[in-house]
Amino acid sequence: MNNRDILICGAGVAGPTLAYWLAAYGFRPTLVERAPALRTGGYLLDFSGAGYDVAQRMDLLPELSRHAVRVDETQLIGQDGRVKHCIDMRRTLGASSDRYMTIARSDLAKVLYEALDDRVETLFGDRILGLRQDHDGVEVDFARSGSRRFDLVIGCDGLHSHTRRLVFGEEQPFIRSLGYCVAAFIVPDYPDSSKGVYLGYLEPGRQTWCYGLDDGRTAFSMIFAASPAPRFQPGDTAHHRDLVRAAYADSGWQVPKILDAMSDSEDLYFDLVAQTRMPAWHQGRVALAGDAGACPSLVSGQGSAFGMAAAYVLAGELHAAGGDHSRAFPAYQARLQPFITAQQDKVRRSTRWVIPKTSIGRHLQDTLASLLSLPLVAKRATGRIADVRLPLPHYPR
Ligand SMILES: Cc1cc2nc3c(=O)[nH]c(=O)nc-3n(C[C@H](O)[C@H](O)[C@H](O)COP(=O)(O)OP(=O)(O)OC[C@H]3O[C@@H](n4cnc5c(N)ncnc54)[C@H](O)[C@@H]3O)c2cc1C
């Protein structure tokens, strides 16, 4: 087999999935992760579709289920601070699919990483400074681990991929903002959340979500309209907090208290709600997977699923091609890109209904919420997350 030594940049969702399958096929993957250890905190995600299928092929469903959080009910809060709609999540999501769970992104990433069972070298707290491709390999300069040579490099380093920047250029032509920002954080002790219940305070152009985890912590996510997209630097948490405070300055319900809680949270996630659109997912010996190459945005509820599917298919195509990247990379892109692009287009069109900016849009959303007890309406409304079908090929080992 050719091209055995493969560097994967990013130990999030796509990176460890890719490492798992490459190792299973006899390749020698190495992971490099910028963070000093696996990330904690973050946000909850809906996990279903192709991600669920790949996890099953990795025999990880029992372990993931142990970390799944139970969402019994979603309560939508009205402008007067009272519960306006109560949605039975089991019945509503059950109308679409039972292959579905809610899990913290950090737990999903941890379970995927632990499935590697120490078989894969991981360089934590390091990053790629530069890379040079030649006819038979890639010379990689690391910030801490000197220079090393690999046969192939795969960027799984998320929406703002540095690997992509090094190989394809600045991110600006590839990132498409959907006109919103998102902040997400978990705090240890917030008194007004309920275990197993999602509380959603939805205003025109602003959503605030709050969920009480079983261990007593509370997870928050806040999504607000921001067009044109504000300028901010990754890691500048003080500025991120200011942007959120400014966007919610006149908001009601528990929001002032939630903004105080945000000030105490250590691990604030903040970013644009955006998609990655790349004409090509590979160049020479370098390819991209997950959000780095094709982020569908959080509105899709499918980013982790698509990232895992991309990792699974990329590893499978490399295996099927005996490691020949010149055949495997185009085959990988041809298998997935038409489907993912169509989903991205759908998400783009539906975002203004999912996070409406106007009072009329909010009113329609309330009308839909009041109809969710009808199975047919529930099936259509939740199909977005629970029923996106991406058939995965089988790659015999
Ligand atoms: C608020 C929110 C809610 C979401 N909800 C859902 C949902 O309900 N369902 C769903 O499926 N998806 C959801 N998503 C999307 C999902 O989280 C992503 O699509 C998924 O995490 C992408 O996986 P990834 O491995 O490509 O990237 P990431 O998970 O972002 O991982 C990238 C990794 O690369 C590392 N890294 C970055 N730069 C470097 C570098 N230079 N060198 C080394 N390492 C680097 C990072 O530290 C990180 O560990 C949501 C996202 C957000 C923000």
As a whole number, mean pLDDT of residues 79-102 equals: 77
**Residue 397: per-residue pLDDT:** 85
* pLDDT band at residue 85 under the 50/70/90 scheme: confident
Ligand 1 centroid vs 292 CA: distance in angstroms? Answer: 9
* pLDDT band at residue 4 under the 50/70/90 scheme: very high
Superfamily of domain 5-174+275-386: FAD/NAD(P)-binding domain (3.50.50.60)
Ligand 1 centroid vs 1 CA: distance in angstroms? Answer: 31
As a whole number, mean pLDDT of residues 135-142 equals: 97
CA 46 to ligand 1: nearest atom: 8
Share above pLDDT 90 across residues of the chain, in percent, rounded to a whole number: 74
* pLDDT band at residue 384 under the 50/70/90 scheme: low
62, exposed or middle or buried, with CB in 10 Å at 0-12, 13-18, 19+?
exposed
* pLDDT band at residue 381 under the 50/70/90 scheme: low
Beta bridge partners of 155: 9, 288
Regarding the beta carbon of 11 and ligand 1, being less than 6 Å apart is answered yes
**Residue 84: per-residue pLDDT:** 87
The whole-chain average pLDDT of the chain stands at 92
CA 12 to ligand 1: nearest atom: 31
101 half-sphere exposure, CB direction, 13 A CA radius: 21
Regarding the beta carbon of 107 and ligand 1, being less than 6 Å apart is answered no
As a whole number, mean pLDDT of residues 295-302 equals: 94
CA distance 264 to 260: 7
Domain ranges of the chain: 5-174+275-386
Share above pLDDT 70 across residues of the chain, in percent, rounded to a whole number: 94
Per-residue pLDDT of 355-371, as tens digits, reads 999 988 888 888 887 77
Of all protein residues, the one whose alpha carbon is nearest to atom 19 of ligand 1 is 303
pLDDT at 299 over 80: yes
pLDDT at 137 over 90: yes
**Residue 376: per-residue pLDDT:** 63
Residue 219 near residue 213, CB atoms below 8 Å? yes
- Measured CA distances, 216 to 211, 300, 377 (Å): 10, 28, 33
Antiparallel, parallel or unpaired: β 44-48 and 5-9: unpaired
- Cis (ω within 30 of 0) for the bond into 228? yes
**Residue 91: per-residue pLDDT:** 66
Least confident of 30-44, 93-107, 176-190: 93-107
Regarding the beta carbon of 6 and ligand 1, being less than 6 Å apart is answered no
**Residue 387: per-residue pLDDT:** 59
pLDDT at 386 over 60: no
Per-residue pLDDT of 198-233, as tens digits, reads 999 999 999 999 999 888 899 999 999 998 999 999
**Residue 152: per-residue pLDDT:** 98
Ligand 1 centroid vs 140 CA: distance in angstroms? Answer: 23
**Residue 375: per-residue pLDDT:** 62
**Residue 159: per-residue pLDDT:** 97
**Residue 251: per-residue pLDDT:** 95
Of all protein residues, the one whose alpha carbon is nearest to atom 52 of ligand 1 is 298
Residue of 233 and 96 predicted with greater confidence: 233
Least confident of 28-37, 53-62, 100-109, 380-389: 380-389
Q: Which of 214, 183, 209 is nearest to 68 (CA)?
A: 214
174 half-sphere exposure, CB direction, 13 A CA radius: 23
Q: Phi and psi at residue 115, in whole multiples of 5°?
A: -65, -15
pLDDT at 383 over 80: no
Regarding the beta carbon of 294 and ligand 1, being less than 6 Å apart is answered no
Mutate to test the pocket of ligand 1, among 8, 111, 123, 298 (most ligand atoms within 8 A of CB): 298
Per-residue pLDDT of 147-165, as tens digits, reads 999 999 999 999 999 999 9
Per-residue pLDDT of 44-56, as tens digits, reads 999 999 999 999 9
As a whole number, mean pLDDT of residues 234-253 equals: 95
Residue 351 near residue 299, CB atoms below 8 Å? yes
Contacts of 342 (CB under 8 A, 6+ apart): none
Regarding the beta carbon of 158 and ligand 1, being less than 6 Å apart is answered yes
